[in-house]
Structure 1
Amino acid sequence: MKAIKCESYGPPEKVVRITEVAIPSPKDNEVLIKIHATTVNDYDWILALGKPYLYRLMLGLFKPKNGLLGMELSGTVAAIGAKAKKFKIGDAVMGDTSEYGFGTFAEYISINENAVIQKPRTLSFEEAAAIPHASCLALQALRDIGEIKEGQKILINGGGGGVGTIGLQLAKLHNCAVTGVDSQEKLAIMTAIGYDQVIDYKKVNFTKAGKRYDLILDCKSNKASLTYLKALNPNGRYVSIGGKPFNLIGLLLWGKLMPLFSSKRLKILALKSNSGLEFICDLLAQRKIQCQIDGPYPMEDAGRLIQYFGEGKHKGKIVISIKAQTHKE
């Protein structure tokens, strides 16, 4: 089968390659999935580039340990392990596999059956691949950690990406006024999909603009921790879903100290893979929210797409279509 791997660190277009590998066999609690679509995430950008360098302690000091790319998928079950009980051959599935393993940039993957859920018939394979990671990040950040309330003022930093576009729609279900921060190239489409106000991050630093919000969802976390306090109302909450390691360490430390002297809160989301995904699927089925897809693109473009993602030029979720050959036992 074809699989996309990264065997050294560097520019994605140079180090990401399609290779031929054997189709894996499912272990006892695993299912073999024929992948129809996958997506690009921060993990792929970090793995290809090997930066920030701190991540190399986990990924491999001088080159990736395994180089497996991809952590989201939609597809159909092609084979079942001896003890796997949740699915049958032919079932359409979807999910964020990161809790159990990576490697969705491939024609097939063998993964623990708990890494995926049943795909609703109302969703295309492209939509199903695009929502597990981003939507669960947005939902858990806004609802579970941010404790979103009716009519709040919300800011989403990185508002034009996959998490931001879902986060906006979830906030609008609570009748919130939402400001989105991103690059100039994305502002027009962000306005079109419903942001009340948009900010070009190159022109305006939202922490110094004098406006305050009840809840901030930060997809970037690229500023010093305490600067976010200036942009929060009393009792306001700031929730980071990721960013530069040293900024996250600062947020973690200050987040623990904050209750001693302020009503404001600094939080970091520890994602629970696929938690709340059925809820998101229900919202999509009822057309209360929509999925913003950039693509789909062929798997041969993977290196270029990871670079495209890293440059922040994508509008919504980058989806890669996988056209796998038929698996034979």
Structure 2
Amino acid sequence: MQLTSTTLLALAIPPIFLAAMPFFGKSKLNPKGKHCYVTGGSTGLGLYLAILLVKKGAHVSIVARNEERLQKALEELEKARQTPDQVLRTYSYDLFDPAASAAAFDAACKEHDGKTPYAVFLCAGAARPGFFIEQDAASLQKGMDNGYWVQAYSALHATKKMVQQRSPGKIVFVSSLVGYMSIIGYSSYTPAKHALRGLAETLRSELSLYDISVHIFFPGTIYSPGLEEENKTKPKITLKIEEDDGGAKPEQVAAALYNGVEKGHFHITVDLIGELFRSSTRGSTPHNNVFLDIFYGLIGWIALAIWRRGVDGMVAKHRKEHEAYLVERNIRPEST
């Protein structure tokens, strides 16, 4: 698409008014009595989001691989049940496989006369941090499987079914704060989260043809079993950079996600740090609040530059320790 100077000038005349009027109308979230589908729903964010949806009166289907954790999750959903007729189901499928992703979705729809869900929340995913020098082709591919394909396959099948049935709905991706930026240690994880943003940006435009709204979530640190697994392989320097990151409990993060979709936000964050990164890397993404976004953008222009300089300084100081790490693991010969 070619933009001439005249076109740009015309677009720039009323910038605040244009920014305040999203190209697509905002859609509210009202799950009471409706079917919601949650992947990665056995632990962490997915589980607490599923519980919240049950409390809002939704019929909820959760999908994960571990059947034991799914059973425990179902017990938690039952505790949150609001009415006897709520349909609460669990499904054990490997969502890294496209055929299994389709089968899981179809199985959940079958419980509702084959109708597609009102909202699809794609919370499945995992991270295995480490230095890029220690990765191989298999681990890089696994990073994309864990962070991108595990959601993209489900989104693709859900979209096809929604379009076939002429069913309006919602598709919600879960990226990460590193979908806006990144730091040392996340080379196998960050690319997938940026890819999710690219997919969501495209689908927000395209799926408006079918009255399907698209949203994407960028949480920071979540205190969950997933974080415990991440920290087992996370480099010391990455842990050092993140040590002042307060993080949030999964129920707080689930509430932030729910509230963002309820408000019709496309990009959804949890806290001030997330808002600063969102506003500073927004591109053509619609404003959540034009005046606050301008304010956040001004703060981010200064604060994030200072933050990045601090991170770069920490990495530079880590150089000697990292040299010893490489020698210890026979990645680099000891200097003479």
Q: State the TM-score, normalized to the length of structure 1.
A: 0.29
Q: Which has the larger radius of gyration?
A: 2
**Greater helix percent: which structure?**
2
Q: State the TM-score, normalized to the length of structure 2.
A: 0.28
